[in-house]
A and B are shown apart, each in its own frame.
Chain A
Amino acid sequence: MTSALVDEAASTSGQVTRVSKKNRLLNGKPYRPSVDGIPTKSMMPSTTARTLTLVVLVGVLIYFLAPIFWVLVSASKSNSELISSSGFWFADIQYAQNYAKLLEWTQGDFWRWVINSVFYSTTAGVVGTLISVAAGYSLAKFRFRERGATLGFIMAGMLMPVALLTIPLYIVFNSVGLTNTIWAVLIPSCVSPFGVFLGRVYAESSVPTELLEAARLDGASEARIFFTVVLRLLAPAMVTIFLFIFVGTWNNFLLPLMMLNDSSLKPVTLGLYGMMSYFNPQKGAVMLGALLSVLPLIILFLGLQRYWQSGLAAGAVKS
């Protein structure tokens, strides 16, 4: 993992500019061979500019990371210590006590909420990815009359403010008795117009039509071609779409807030909010809950960041 990151940093940023000892002219003077992606000496920014940039970037990095670090610190403190001790450093570490309080306040539901979140996000991710990729593949590789209109609908869906749909969705689900069931969260979370868009972009560029034709000539059915050939070719896109849906579902708040009453069905975001708003809780325990609810996502992000980037790139460059 770490070495992969370093490799990537070296190849994409092109900042490796050290002069190797071997690179000497016949008269012994050093020279720098030109390497793709690395600027010539005349184009290298001055040391002052680089130092200034470093200061600014580290400052910005602190802005982005300090709250996360603060959560890590606060989660170890009791209420009185939160007030009395320095905000950015540990005092008497009480993770265990806060953990016990977290479970007590949530009446043991905390891990149930986390498991619910994992379940909602994973299921929606898997189902949503499959139907998005199938739709994207269809829109990229098949010709039928309503294709243009379908594409238009889905693109319009991408720009629809989803929160505004939540209230109408509640009305519909309530009238058919689906509110306060897992379906109320799962069904809407599976639908990702962005996933279809991404699937279509990938299918256009990485599924060769010749390959499909060859498989058809060999007598393979369309379903078989899709599951054995196409899905394999679209694997990188599928990881990206899965991530987008997974994170979107994990982070969604308004939808479960509207749809669910039952504490045992709540995802962790909703559970934490309830805990924070209904009681005047031990803040350290809430922060510990927040930390534990965010960790799975952060691990997922760090591990699969390559895919995020490619997804964002497709959105930024091709739309």
Chain B
Amino acid sequence: MATQQLPPSGAKTPAKLVATRGRAEAKEARSGRLFVAPFLIMFTVVFLIPMIVAIRQSFFTKKAAGGGLFGGGEAVDVFVGLENYAAVVTDTRFWAGIGRVVGYAAFQIPVMILMALALALVLDSFLTRHVTIYRLGFFLPYAVPGIVAAMVWMYMYTPEISPIVKGLSALGLDVNFMGENMILLSMANMTTWTFTGYNMLIFLAALQAIPHDLYEAARLDGATGFQVTTKIKVPMVRGAALLTVLLSIIGTIQLFNEPTVMATVNPWMGNDYTPMMMAYNTMLGQISPGGDGPASAISIVMALIAGGLAVVYALLQRKKD
């Protein structure tokens, strides 16, 4: 972290010394900036400029210039103030989408995080051998691209070919994974399948960083294995839990791949099932009002909601400590 200054070589007068140090500092600053510059330029192109453009665009809408008899003519950007935002926040489709995503997250994130934590605790205990096999096996779904995972599960939900549906119906249970009441759960399963192993590895890494002296001390004090787990291990991985939940909230707000794949066989889901789908289809003009302005406004409102949720969660977590 701290960069040390070169010790002045040889005896120098204080004035000379300051000058040398000043020059060395300037050189150091220049080199530092040069090394960080390529990334910063790319970061500006990919993060900052689009954000600024999105904020600007969100105040504009494409409208026909209106010269022609039928209101035709060249489409031009017209400043509309907060009209796009008003359209988003009063749009019931948007809030329905937010509602689905929030409901989905409220169920899926706890299930996934608790499962990941439980698996990590078991693998970190003396309960099992062959930890490597489980670790790899649980993590393997993460190597499957989200869109491919969604396609695979979608086929596995399709009644005619699904071994699960067939198996369940042989047991007398008829489950329609694509039904309106089930589809959020079905998609939650896709996400859980893909990301549990990833989160488990984060927990496992945090568990392995706990100094083992703590366990020994607890043992000497007469703690059982269960107490070591609940009183030492779980509290010590709170930082990792915060990280995984925050990443999951950020991931969920962008929910797009799974519903997009599911919508190809379930047309009733429409093109605005989640806010991200709505933003995408608004951009393409498949939802009215469409185009840059309204799509930017949706993205910005979503970013604000995501940021708000993340901040609220982080604050709640901090208050507990």
Contacts and interface: CB of A to CB of B under 8 A. Distances in A.
B36 A64 contact: no
Contacts of B42: 131, 187, 190-191
Contacts of B16: none
Interface in A134-189: 134-135, 137-147, 150, 153-154, 157, 159-165, 167-172, 187-188
Contacts of A164: 253-254, 276, 279, 299, 302-303, 306
Nearest to A157: B47
Chain B interface category by residue count: 35 or more
A270 B130 CA distance: 37
Interface string B127-149: 11111111011111111111111
Contacts of B127: 45, 49-50, 53
Prevailing SS type, chain A contact patch? helix
B159 to A, nearest CB: 10
B31 A222 contact: yes
Nearest to B228: A43
Interface string A275-312: 01100000100110010011001101110010011001
B195 to A, nearest CB: 11
B39 A191 contact: yes
Prevailing SS type, chain B contact patch? helix
B39 A142 contact: no
A165 B283 contact: no
Contact of B35 (A138, A154, A308): A138
Contacts of A204: 1
A307 B102 CA distance: 34
Contact of B137 (A39, A64, A286): A64
Nearest to B190: A67
A67 B190 CA distance: 11
A218 B156 CA distance: 64
Chain A interface category by residue count: 35 or more
A187 to B, nearest CB: 6
A144 B264 contact: no
Contacts of B34: 138, 222
Contacts of B123: 13
A316 B239 contact: yes
Contacts, number: 311
Contacts of B80: none
Contacts of A144: 28-30, 32-33
B11 interface: no
Interface stretch (B86-94, B103-111, B200-208): B200-208
Given A168-B51, A209-B4, A319-B239, A53 B144 contact: no
A118 interface: no
B130 A9 contact: yes
B54 interface: yes
Given A134-B38, A167-B296, A269-B148, A9 B132 contact: yes
Given A53-B122, A172-B49, A298-B143, 20 more contacts: A9-B132, A9-B133, A43-B219, A68-B144, A70-B152, A87-B164, A130-B38, A143-B29, A144-B29, A160-B303, A161-B250, A163-B254, A164-B254, A167-B279, A191-B42, A209-B3, A213-B4, A251-B146, A287-B152, A294-B143
Interface of B: 1, 3-4, 6, 25, 28-36, 38-40, 42-43, 45-47, 49-51, 53-54, 57, 119, 122-123, 125-134, 136-149, 151-153, 155-156, 160-164, 166-167, 193, 196-198, 201-203, 205-206, 208-209, 212, 219, 225, 239-240, 243, 246, 250-251, 253-254, 256-257, 260-261, 264, 276, 279-280, 283, 292, 295-296, 299, 302-303, 306-307, 310
8 contacts: A9-B130, A74-B161, A143-B29, A164-B254, A164-B306, A165-B46, A251-B146, A297-B144
